[in-house]
Structures are given as structure tokens and as C-alpha cells.
Copies of this chain bind each other. A is one copy, B any other.
Amino acid sequence: MSQITGPAPAPAPAPASASASGAAFPRLGWVDDLVLPALQAAVAALPATERRAAGYHRGWCEADGTPLVAASGRGKTVRPALALLSAVAVGGSPQSALPGAVAVELVHDFTLLHDDVMDGDALRRHRPAVWSAFGTASAVLTGDALLVAAMREVAHSPAEFAAVAVQELVRALLDLVEGQSHDVAFEQTPEVSVARYLAMAEGKTGSLMGCACALGGVLAGADSGRVRGLREFGRRLGVAFQCADDVMGIWGRAARSGKPVGADLAARKKSLPVVAALAGSCSAAERLRSLYRSPHPLDAQEVQLAGELVEKAGGRQAAEEEARRQMSAALRALSHARPTADAYRQLQEIASMMIRRDS
């Protein structure tokens, strides 16, 4: 899907503190250098049991607590990168956005832990999910602990920004809960419209990326107009990412997501390509509807067929087009925040990478 943002932008000059990293987002090593120590400190402050479960989830240790030396997860901290670069975009320092960067990453982990409990997904990042390795009770409490730790970060950000920063986080959390609620409800809903899907994706994925960008602006002292532009950029980017992620969930490689290929289809998940295909009137759409109505679990052959029917019914194309539309809207919103040219280029580069691969 490299065509979504047009030609790849010229390589942006990395900040002076940049460090080479061979990970997913090679140019984001400098983000890790700033964020990881603060993130580790936040996790270290958790009670012992939750500290271990959270460290395991992040790939810092094995389930028994044995530290993992490999810099697992380096260059994949997209949300913190958005926060830091958003601060830079409005003339602040990356450091000023640290409480926001740490908070959104902690919230992201909170959602992953609880979502895996809710969905019963046993795998996360190629390893047993926390609930699977430590039990449901541990996953629930560790998620709670991470959410509270996130609140702590913003509540203790500089006094002149703390109140607005907390409100920004709360707003995102309300939308996150609503998005997750709709996502769960979709499983019981025979027909989901594309509009309802997009509203769900904005809550579930867009709200936190929007919050990351907005917090960067707030903590850098930007006015509410620029913060609004940054928030909208993050929200649209999040929806674009979710659209692209849904495509990868059907036609991507297992190595990327850490989940088996076709799992979304096997679970009859109402991802965007499926929602768009089910809304069609061609014969492929009709056959897909009858496959999705069948009460028994889909076998491997049916999963393969479902993927073909979704593509024939235009589901893939619709999702790819939606991702492009959302990306354009994101970049328009970003320009309303009047970012520095350099920050704009870097944010555009991250955005472009995000819809090409997982974060």
C-alpha cells in the first residue's frame, strides 16, 4: 500500500540525538532513547506482580522475570513519536512532551491487555498474551495499573498544562471505551455500515493517536487552534492506520502481526474490507453474506474463499481508498496546526511508514 501517500518523502534529517536502530522504524531510535527510560521508570513503579506482567508484555523479560537483552520493540513506539514530534512541530522540545508520550504508550498497553482478555486472543506479538501467560486476573489488574500509571504521568506534568493535558487524555479514554464497546457489539450485529465502522475505528484507534499529537502540542504550550489541528491529524492518521491494518489482517503476512493469517476472517471479524464487501450487491457479496451467516466455524478452505470473495466484492479496494482519504484528511489537518516544515516532513514520513507496516 505504498501508494497511499504518494511518492515516499525525501529522508528527513533526524534530530541530533538520533541513534541507529535496526528495528521497524529505523529512524525513530532517538524516540526510544528519550521515551524508554521514562517508560521503564513508570513500569518499575508498579507493584511487583504487575511490573513483571507489564515487562513481559513489552518484551523486556520472560514470563518468569528473566530479562531479555534484545532491544525488542525498539523503533516501534509510534504513539510516543507522534507526541514528541508534535511538540517539535509547534516550536517545543521533544522533552516537553515526555509525560504525554509515556502516558499514551501506557494507555496503548492497557488497551492491548484488556482487549486480549475480551477477545480471548491467546497470542500477542508472537508470544502468549498476558492473560494466557499469567491468567485473566493478572491481565485485568495489570491493565488497570497501566491506565492509572498513564494518568499519573499527565497529572504530574508541569502545573500550567496539567489540567488541560488530563482533560485531553480523559477525552481520548472516553472515546476509546466507546470504540471498544462498538467493536465488541459488532460481533453480534448482522449488518455494520461503513460509517459505523469508521466511527468505531476513530474511537478505538484514532482517539489515542489524536491524543498523542494533542498532548505534544498542549505540553509545548501551543494554543487551542494548533492543538486541534494536531489532534485531528492524529485521529485521521489512526483511522487510516486501522484501514490499512485491516487489509493486512486479511492479506498480510503472519510475521507482521504475530497472529495467524486469516484469523480475522476465521473469527468473522467485521473489519473494513469485510464490512464494505458485505454491503455490496454483486454475487460475491451474496456468497460472502451466506458464508458469514453459517453457524459453524470457518475451516481453512472457507477462510481462503472468504478472502477471495471480500476482494471480488470490492472490500479490499474500498478499504485502501478509505485509508488514502483519511491520510489526505490527516495531512490537511496537520497543516492547519502550522507545523515547522521539518516536523511536517517527519510526521508525514511516520504516517507513511505506519500504513505500510505494523506499529
| Interface residue ranges, A against B (CB under 8 Å) | 46-50, 114, 117-119, 136-138, 140-141, 143-145, 147-149, 151-152, 155-156, 159, 162-163, 166-167, 170, 173-174, 176-178, 180-182, 184-185
Q: Could you give 11 example pairs across A and B, Cβ below 8 Å?
A: A46-B177, A47-B177, A49-B185, A117-B136, A136-B136, A137-B184, A141-B177, A143-B144, A144-B144, A147-B147, A162-B166
Taking the full assembly, how many copies of this chain does it contain? Answer: 2
Q: Which 7 A-B pairs have the closest CB atoms?
A: A118-B137, A47-B181, A148-B173, A145-B177, A163-B163, A162-B163, A155-B170
Docked complex Cα distance between A178 and B142 (Å):
10
Docked complex Cα distance between A46 and B140 (Å):
20
* A67–chain B nearest beta-carbon distance, Å: 21
Docked complex Cα distance between A177 and B54 (Å):
14
Q: Which residues of B contact A49 (CB under 8 A)?
A: 181, 184-185
Docked complex Cα distance between A46 and B182 (Å):
12
Find the B residue at minimum CB distance from A181: B47
Docked complex Cα distance between A176 and B50 (Å):
13
Do A167 and B156 form a contact, CB below 8 Å, given A49-B185, A137-B118, A140-B117? yes
Partner pick for A177 among B148, B155, B173, CB 8 A cutoff: B148
Docked complex Cα distance between A224 and B357 (Å):
50
Q: Which residues of B contact A180 (CB under 8 A)?
A: 141
Q: Which residues of B contact A145 (CB under 8 A)?
A: 177, 181
Find the B residue at minimum CB distance from A167: B155
Q: Is the CB of A114 within 8 A of B163?
A: no
Find the B residue at minimum CB distance from A46: B177
Docked complex Cα distance between A194 and B159 (Å):
39
Docked complex Cα distance between A152 and B175 (Å):
12
Q: Is the CB of B151 within 8 A of A170?
A: yes
* A207–chain B nearest beta-carbon distance, Å: 11
